[in-house]
């Protein structure tokens, strides 16, 4: 489920004294992960570079499109150094990036970091709004489903959430637009947010995309919550809790949930990552200026500095969220907190 399997026991880059590792297992783990992440990010950047190189056409020819003249193409190539060998260009980019300079977008001549800050802010805003509704809702509904296991509420929750996840996200989006924007006219469309937009307008604008995302990610987390709690329910201590007279909702809340938290957190982390980096379809449908659309535009014209920066951010989001999920799972589980 996570990028790193849990049997990574050897420190990759930070050799710690044996006592240190035993006394601060969490700190050791974070240090290990950070070291590995740096390597992983370099690997990702190589992959992206090679991938974009493998696509037919380079920036000069795709950017000018069918209107390209050989002179203009040659001029752009010379200007950007596209005539240099691939390896040279990669090393040049990497040394810039290591100094924190992601360069200028080839297409718009604007600073990549600045543009990304804007787009990433939009993506995080939408993801945060969706997560703050979807996560409590999914976990809550999951618990309700367990409480009424195999009865009407459980079935209802399952059917509705599975139906929502089975519909493609663009279709859910179109349905919401049709009813709430076109027929009822109660919600603004498109959901375009821009610099200097007042917060309330912003929240109103993202109502529909947020609802779509909630519907899309709900089922996954909900089902995992339900499954994890049910598997804990079979444990002897749950029987004890029941025998000592705890009402079943309290038994679930106090004893089952803390023990089922690790797999739930993992699923939540995956869905959070998806909400930030995987929602390009929703962005297109709602005309929302997020990271996904930005990267797709850049890939279309082979704008390498932008593609690289986006790729690294996406990879970092995944790595970071997975790391946080693992840390949270360790904190939640005393057995992992004090390994032998």
Residues that bind another protein (CB under 8 A): 55-57, 63-67, 69-72, 75-76, 79, 105, 107-109, 115, 118-119, 174, 177-178, 181-182, 185, 188-190, 192, 194-196, 284-287, 289, 293-294, 297-298, 300-301, 303, 306
Q: In angstroms, give the least distance from the CB of 85 to another protein.
A: 22
Q: Which is nearer to another protein, 192 or 231 (CB)?
A: 192
Q: In angstroms, give the least distance from the CB of 181 to another protein.
A: 5
Q: State the burial class of residue 106 (Cβ atoms within 10 Å of its Cβ: 0-12, 13-18, 19+).
A: buried
Distant-in-sequence, close-in-space partners of 172: CB < 8 Å, separation ≥ 6 = 164, 212, 215, 216
Q: Which is nearer to another protein, 185 or 198 (CB)?
A: 185
Q: In angstroms, give the least distance from the CB of 317 to another protein.
A: 19
Q: In angstroms, give the least distance from the CB of 57 to another protein.
A: 6
Q: Report yes or no: 246 and 256 within 8 Å, Cβ to Cβ.
A: no
Q: Which is nearer to another protein, 67 or 152 (CB)?
A: 67
Query: Helices in the chain by DSSP H: which ranges?
Result: 18-23, 25-54, 59-64, 70-80, 86-98, 112-147, 152-166, 169-176, 199-205, 207-233, 236-243, 248-251, 257-277, 280-286, 291-300, 304-332, 334-337
Q: In angstroms, give the least distance from the CB of 249 to another protein.
A: 43
Q: In angstroms, give the least distance from the CB of 92 to another protein.
A: 21
Q: Greatest CA separation found in the chain?
A: 84
Q: Which is nearer to another protein, 49 or 286 (CB)?
A: 286
Collapsed DSSP state (helix, strand, coil) of residue 51: helix
Q: Which is nearer to another protein, 276 or 295 (CB)?
A: 295
Q: In angstroms, give the least distance from the CB of 124 to another protein.
A: 16
Q: Which is nearer to another protein, 167 or 246 (CB)?
A: 167
First to last CA, the chain: 24
Tell me the sheet residues that pair with 104.
111
Q: Which is nearer to another protein, 163 or 182 (CB)?
A: 182
How far is the CA of 212 from the CAs of 30, 217, 273, 301, in angstroms?
35, 9, 16, 29
How far is the CA of 263 from the CAs of 1, 106, 333, in angstroms?
9, 43, 12
Tell me the sheet residues that pair with 277.
none
Provide the token pair at 207. 């109502």
Q: Which is nearer to another protein, 251 or 299 (CB)?
A: 299
> From CA 68, how far away is CA 192, in angstroms rounded?
32
Q: In angstroms, give the least distance from the CB of 141 to another protein.
A: 30
Provide the token pair at 160. 């509705």
């Amino acid at each position: 489920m996570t990028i790193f399997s849990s049997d990574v026991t050897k420190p990759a880059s930070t050799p710690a004294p044996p006592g240190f590792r035993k006394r601060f297992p969490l700190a050791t783990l974070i240090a290990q992960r950070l070291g590995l992440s740096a390597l992983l990010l370099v690997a990702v950047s190589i992959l992206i570079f090679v991938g974009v190189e493998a696509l037919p056409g380079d920036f000069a020819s795709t950017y000018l499109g069918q209107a390209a003249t050989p002179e203009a193409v040659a001029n752009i190539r010379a200007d950007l150094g596209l005539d240099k060998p691939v390896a040279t260009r990669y090393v040049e980019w990497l040394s810039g990036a290591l100094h924190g300079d992601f360069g200028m977008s080839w297409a718009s001549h604007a600073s990549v970091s600045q543009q990304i800050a804007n787009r990433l802010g939009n993506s995080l805003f939408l993801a945060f709004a969706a997560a703050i509704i979807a996560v409590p809702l999914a976990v809550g509904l999951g618990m309700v489903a367990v409480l009424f296991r195999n009865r009407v509420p459980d079935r209802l929750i399952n059917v509705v959430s599975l139906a929502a996840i089975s519909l493609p996200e663009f279709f859910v989006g179109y349905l919401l637009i049709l009813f709430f924007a076109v027929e009822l006219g109660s919600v603004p469309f498109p959901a375009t947010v821009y610099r200097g937009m007042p917060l309330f307008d912003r929240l109103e604008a993202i109502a529909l995309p947020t609802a779509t995302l909630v519907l899309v990610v709900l089922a996954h987390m909900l089902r995992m919550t339900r499954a994890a709690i049910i598997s804990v329910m079979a444990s002897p201590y749950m029987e004890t809790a029941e025998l000592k007279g705890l009402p079943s909702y309290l038994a679930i809340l106090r004893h089952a949930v803390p023990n089922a938290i690790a797999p739930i957190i993992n699923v939540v982390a995956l869905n959070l990552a998806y909400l930030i980096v995987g929602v390009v379809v929703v962005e297109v449908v709602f005309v929302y200026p997020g990271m996904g659309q930005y990267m797709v535009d850049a890939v279309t014209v082979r704008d390498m500095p932008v593609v690289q920066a986006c790729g690294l951010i996406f990879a970092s989001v995944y790595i970071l969220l997975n790391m946080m999920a693992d840390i949270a799972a360790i904190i939640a589980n005393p057995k992992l907190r004090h390994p032998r």
